[in-house]
Structure 1
Amino acid sequence: MSTLDGSIVIISLPAIFRGIGLDPLAPANIGYLLWMILGYLLVSAVLVVTLGRLGDMFGRVKMYNVGFVIFSVASVALSFDPFHGGQGALWLIGWRIVQAVGGSMLTANSAAILTDAFPREQRGMALGINQITALAGQFLGLVVGGLLAEIDWRAVFWVSVPFGILGTVWSIRSLREIGKPRRARVDWGGNVTFALGTGVLLAAITYGIQPYGDAPTGWGNPWVLGGIGSGVLLLVVFGVIESRVKDPMFKLSLFRIRAFSAGNLAALLTAIARGGMQFMLIIWLQGIWLPLHGYEYERTPLWAGIYLLPLTVGFLIAGPVSGYLSDRFGARLFSTGGLVLVAAAFLGLLALPVDFSYPAFAALLVLSGIGQGMFSAPNTSAIMSSVPDHQRGVASGMRSTFQNSGTALSIGVFFSLMIAGLAGSLPATLTGGLQAHGVPADVAANVAQLPPVSTLFAAFLGSNPVAHLLGPGVLSGLSPSDSAALTGKEFFPQLISGPFHNGLVTVFTAAAVMALVAGLASVSRGKRYFHPDLAARAGEQRSTPDKENG
C-alpha cells in the first residue's frame, strides 16, 4: 500500500491537475508537479532511519500500527481537497508528506518484524515476498492510477482508505512484539542533521532539473549549488555526531559488516537505475509510442500502465522463487545474476527503435523484472540477516533510505541527462517542424526557445503541448490541414522522437553501467553470512560464523 501510493500519483497527474484546475505545463507550475511526485519520496528517504531506530527503542509493531493510522488519515484528507489551483496543489503536497510519514513507519519496520518472526532458513522466502510486494506496488500503482483516474481523480486517493482502515485494525489485533525493545536516549543531533542534510541535498537536486536563466537546467543556479554544498556539509556533521554519541541513530558500525555495506551499495545503485527506467519508459510510451499507434492523449496514462505490466509479472515470478532458493544457496549468485539480467535488458532497450515492436519491448520488460526480482529478495534477506537482532529496525530503515534515496536521485540524474540531450537538438527540430506547417518564423523560434523540461513533462504527462504553446490565435491563421496536423496524434511524437532517442541512449547506457557496478558490489559481499547473535538464532548455540556461512 505504501509503495503503491508512491507511484499511483505519477500516472494520475494529468487527471489531478485537471481536477484542481491547474495547468501542469505552465512554467510557474512545474514546481507543483515536481513536489507532487517527489515530496512523498523525499520524506520517505529522510525518515525511515529515524523511524526504524525508534522501532528498536519503543517497539517495531507499535511503530508499524501507528504508521497505518497516520497513512489512513492522510488518505482521507487527500481525497477531500477543498481548494483549486495552487492552493489545491499545496493541500495535496502537504497531505502527501503526512502520508509519507505513515508509509515510512510501515516500510522502516516491516522487514525487521519479519526478520524477528522467521528462522534464518525461511527468512529469504519471507523477506522475498515482502520485498517483491513492495516493488510490485511501485509498478502496479501505474496501472491502478490509470484506471482510477478514468473514474475520478479523487479515487486515486480513495483506494487507500479501506485498505488503511482494515490494515490498522488487523495489525493492532494480530501483531505481537517478538523482538525486545531497547530503550535509549533519542539522538536529537543525529536526527536533525540527517533530516536536514538529506532533505536539502535531495531538494537541491530536484530543483537542478528546472531551467535557470537561459540554461536548460538549474545546475548553475547558486541556490542549487549552495543547497548541494549545505546538504553534504550537514551529512558530514551528522557522521561526526554519530561516531561520538552513545546511542547513535545511524549505526555506522554496521558498515563494517561486508554483507551489509555491499548489499546497501548494490541496492542504492539498482534503485537509481530502476527509477530512471520507470520514468523514461512512461515518457516513451505516453509521449511517443501510444499516440503514434492511435491512442488518444487523454487515455495514454491508463494504457502506459497496462503496457508496463510485463515488468511487474517478471517481479512476481522471480521474487519469491529467488528468495526461497537463496535460503538454501545464499544471496550472491541470485542477486549478482539478476543485476546482469537488468543490465542486459537496458542494452536491449537501447537497440529498439523509437517506434518498436511491442512483443520485443514486453520481452525486455519481463527480463528486467525477473532480474530485479532475483536481486531484491536475496539482497534484502542478506542485509537483514547480517545484523544483530536489536539493530534490525535501524538496519531496515537504513536499507529503505538507500532505496528511497536512489529513486529520488534517479529523477534528478536521468531527467538532467534527458534534458541535456533534448537541449542539443530539440530547438532546431521544433523550429523546422513548425515552419513546415506554416507557422511564422518568429513564432516558431519563440516556441523553440522554451525550456526542454516543458516538452519533457508534456511527454511525461501524455499531453500534446503544440496547441497549448501556439494558442488559438496562431492556429486560426493556419490552413485547416496544417492546424489539424500540428494538433494531431503524430506531429509531436514524430517531432521529439529523434531528440528523445538521443537522450535515451545516454540514460539507458548510464543505467546499464550502474547495474553492472551494483553487480560488482553484490559479488564483493562474500559468502553467506549470519550475524552470530543469540536472539537472531532463536535458541541456536552461539558461535562464530561457520565455514559455510563465511
Structure 2
Amino acid sequence: METTQVPDTLTGAAKKGIDYKWIVLSITTIEMFMVSVNGSITLISLPAIFNGINIDPLTSFQYLIWVLMGYSLVTATLLLSCGRLSDMYGRVKLYNIGFAIFTLGSILLFLTPDKGNAGAIEIIAFRLVQAVGASFTFSNSAAILTDAFPPDERGKALGLNTISFLSGQFVGLILGGVLAFYNWRYVFLVSVPVGILGTVWAYLKLKETPLPKKVRKIDVWGNITFVAGLTTLLIGITYALLPYGNDPMGWGNPWVLGAIGTGILLLIAFPIIESRVEDPMFRLDLFKIRVFTLANTAGFLSALARGGMFFILILLLQGIWLPLHGYSYESTPFWAGIFMLPLTAGFVIMGPLSGWLSDKYGARWFATGGLILIALSFVILASLPYNFDYPIFAVALLVMGIGNGMFGSPNIASIMNSVPPEDRGVASGMRSMLQNSGMVVSMALFFTIVIVSLTHLFPPELASSLVSTGAPELIVPMGAIPPTGALFAAFLGYNPVHTILVAMPAATVAAISPATIAVLTGTTWFPTTLANAFMPSLRLSFYIGALLSIIAAVLASMTGSRFVHEEQAGRGKTDEVPETVEDVPVDIT
C-alpha cells in the first residue's frame, strides 16, 4: 500500500529521537499524579484542615462549597484561553509555566498563616492559584502526548496517563489519612517535592513540536465574553446553594438570579462573537468534524452525570453507612476512601487496556459500552437501601470504574485524533473546558437536589425521631440545624448532636436521661434520621446520571469507525467520518 508523507512541521516529535515519546509520557504522568493526589488528599483531609483552622462545620458551608468547587470553576473558565494561547506561544512553554504555578500554590497552602474565616479564605485563594497552574497543564497535556505519539499508540499513551491519575487518587486517600493525623499542613506539603521535580524535568526535557507558521491574534472580545460569562454563571450557581435570609437556598437571591441571567446572556453572545472575529479562540469550525462534535458532547454529558456522583457517594458512606457499621465519625473520611477503591480498581483495569484496544479497533464501541456500563451502575446504586450489603455496592462501583475506564481514553483519543496537529492545543482546551464545566454544573445540580430534599424531609424526620427516642424537648434546638449544616457535618464526619448539646443550657441537658443522650450521641441515631431524608435525593441523582449516560452512549455510537486527521488529510477528507477507515501506514522517516 502506498504510504502517506507527513510534512516536516508535523513530525517534530519523531525527530527528537525514538525515546522522546516516553519522556513526554513520564512527565505528563508526574503532572497527572500530582494533580490527582492533591484532589483526593484534600477531600479526605477536610476534617483535619477545618479543625486545624478552627472552622465550625455547622456554620461554614460556604467555605466547603468554595474549597470543592472553586478549583473546578477557575479551570473551567481558563482552559479554553490557555489552549488557544498554547497554540500561539508554544504548548510546552505554557505547560512548564503551569507546572511551576501549581507548585507555588502548594507551597502557599502549606504556609497558610491565619485561622478561622481568614484561614479558610486563604486556603480557597491558594487553591485558585493551583487551579490557574492546572489550567495550563490540563489544556496542553493531551495535546503534547498526541504530538509525541503516533496515531496507533495514542490511545495507549492516554490510557497510561489516566492510570497515573487514578493511582494518585488512591495514594492521596492513604496519604491524607496518615498525614492529617500528624498535621494538616503536611497534606499540602507532600505535593511540593513532586511539583519541583516535575517542573525542572519538564523544563529540561520537553521540546516544542514545530507547527505551521500562522499569524494569530489574541481574541480579546472572545476571551472577555467567555470568561466573564462562564465565571458569572458558575458563581451564581455556587451561591444558589447557600442560604439566603430565611430560605435554606439562594435561588431567591436577586444577586444570584442576576448573575445567572447575565452569565447566560454573555454565553449566548459568545458564539456570535466567535463567528465574526478574525481569529477566534473557540474554533467553531472544528465542530464541522463529526467525531469532534459527538465525542465532545458525549464527554460533556458524561462529566455532567458523574461530576457530583463522587461526593454523593462520599456523603452516603461518611454520613450514613460507615457510622451504622460502627465506625467512629472521626475515622469515616479515611474509611470512605478505602471503601471507594473498587471504583479506582475498575479504572486501573480498563484505562490502559481500552486505550490500547481502541488504537487497533477504533474508539466507538469501547466508549459506547463504557457509558452503558456507567448507566447500569447508576441504576444498581439507586436500587440499594441506605444500609446496603457492601459486596453489592462494591460490584456497582467496580462496574462504574470499568465503564469510565472504557470510555475515558478512547474518547479523548477520538477528539485529539480528529483535529489538525496545529489545532491540538485549542482542541485540548475545548475538550477540557467542556469536561470541567460539566463537572462544576453536575456538582451544583446534585447538591441542589440533595439540599432541596433535605429542606423538606429532614425537619419532620428529625422531629419524629426525637419523639420516638424520648427527647421531644430537643425538637426546637435541634430543629435549628440548617440542612446545609447537616450535609456539611455528614461530609466531614462530624456528629452535629454533640455541637447542639454543648450549646444548650446545662439544665435542659440534665433533664434528659443518660440513656437517651447515649442514643443521640451514638453512631446510629443521626445517620438513620439523615438517611430517611437523604435517600430520595440520592436515588433521583443516580437516575439522572443513568439517563445522561444513556444519551452520551447514543452519541458515542454515532462517531463512526477509526478516524485520524493526518490519515484522512492524505485522502482529502477531514470533515466527515467514513463507514470504515483503513489503517494507513505513515512514513515519518
TM-score, normalising length: structure 2: 0.88
Which stretch of structure 1 is more off in the superposition, 148-157 or 302-311?
148-157
Deviation at 1:237, TM superposition (A): 2.1
> Which position in structure 2 is the counterpart of 1:154?
185
Which stretch of structure 1 is more off in the superposition, 456-465 or 328-337?
456-465
The letter of the residue matching 1:493 is: P
Structure 2 contact 274–280 (Cα < 8 Å) conserved: yes
Residue-by-residue CA offset, 1:113-151 (whole Å, 9 max, x unaligned): 011111111111112222343355456544443333223
> What is the CA–CA distance in structure 2 between the aligned matches of 1:452 and 1:390, rounded to whole Å?
50
TM alignment of 1:53-68, pairs within 5 A: 53-68=84-99
> Which position in structure 1 is the counterpart of 2:72?
41
The 1:508–1:140 alpha-carbon spacing in structure 2 relative to 1, beyond 3 Å, is farther
The 1:138–1:48 alpha-carbon spacing in structure 2 relative to 1, beyond 3 Å, is farther
The letter of the residue matching 2:164 is: T
> Which position in structure 2 is the counterpart of 1:476?
510
Extract unaligned runs of 5+ from structure 2: 1-33, 583-589
TM alignment of 1:2-401, pairs within 5 A: 2-26=35-59, 29-134=60-165, 137=168, 141-180=172-211, 182-401=214-433
Deviation at 1:445, TM superposition (A): 3.5
> What is the CA–CA distance in structure 2 between the aligned matches of 1:136 and 1:54, rounded to whole Å?
30
State the SS of the aligned residue for 1:247.
coil
Residue-by-residue CA offset, 1:70-115 (whole Å, 9 max, x unaligned): 1111111110111111111111111111111111111110100011
> What is the CA–CA distance in structure 1 between the aligned matches of 2:284 and 2:544, rounded to whole Å?
29
Deviation at 1:265, TM superposition (A): 1.1
Which stretch of structure 1 is more off in the superposition, 144-153 or 416-425?
144-153
> What is the CA–CA distance in structure 2 between the aligned matches of 1:494 and 1:46, rounded to whole Å?
40
Deviation at 1:179, TM superposition (A): 4.1
The letter of the residue matching 1:178 is: T
> What is the CA–CA distance in structure 2 between the aligned matches of 1:6 and 1:283, rounded to whole Å?
17
State the SS of the aligned residue for 1:23.
coil
> What is the CA–CA distance in structure 1 between the aligned matches of 2:563 and 2:477, rounded to whole Å?
61
- Asked if residue 544 in structure 1 is aligned to residue 573 in structure 2, the reply is yes
The 1:351–1:104 alpha-carbon spacing in structure 2 relative to 1, beyond 3 Å, is same
The 1:258–1:147 alpha-carbon spacing in structure 2 relative to 1, beyond 3 Å, is farther
Which stretch of structure 1 is more off in the superposition, 376-385 or 198-207?
198-207
> Which position in structure 1 is the counterpart of 2:498?
467
The letter of the residue matching 1:15 is: A
> What is the CA–CA distance in structure 2 between the aligned matches of 1:2 and 1:103, rounded to whole Å?
8
> What is the CA–CA distance in structure 2 between the aligned matches of 1:451 and 1:376, rounded to whole Å?
38
Q: Percent identity?
A: 51
Residue-by-residue CA offset, 1:266-288 (whole Å, 9 max, x unaligned): 11111122222101110011001
TM-score, normalising length: structure 1: 0.94
Residue-by-residue CA offset, 1:238-258 (whole Å, 9 max, x unaligned): 222211111111111111211
State the SS of the aligned residue for 1:387.
coil
Moved over 6 A (4+): none
- Asked if residue 515 in structure 1 is aligned to residue 539 in structure 2, the reply is no
The letter of the residue matching 1:8 is: I
Residue-by-residue CA offset, 1:36-90 (whole Å, 9 max, x unaligned): 1111111111111111111111111111111111111111111011111111111
Deviation at 1:35, TM superposition (A): 0.8
Residue-by-residue CA offset, 1:514-550 (whole Å, 9 max, x unaligned): 111111121122232222479xx8xxx4543676229
> Which position in structure 1 is the counterpart of 2:585?
none
Deviation at 1:264, TM superposition (A): 1.1
The letter of the residue matching 1:307 is: F
> Which position in structure 1 is the counterpart of 2:539?
505
Deviation at 1:434, TM superposition (A): 2.0
**Equivalenced residues, count:** 542
> Which position in structure 2 is the counterpart of 1:494?
528
The 1:140–1:265 alpha-carbon spacing in structure 2 relative to 1, beyond 3 Å, is farther
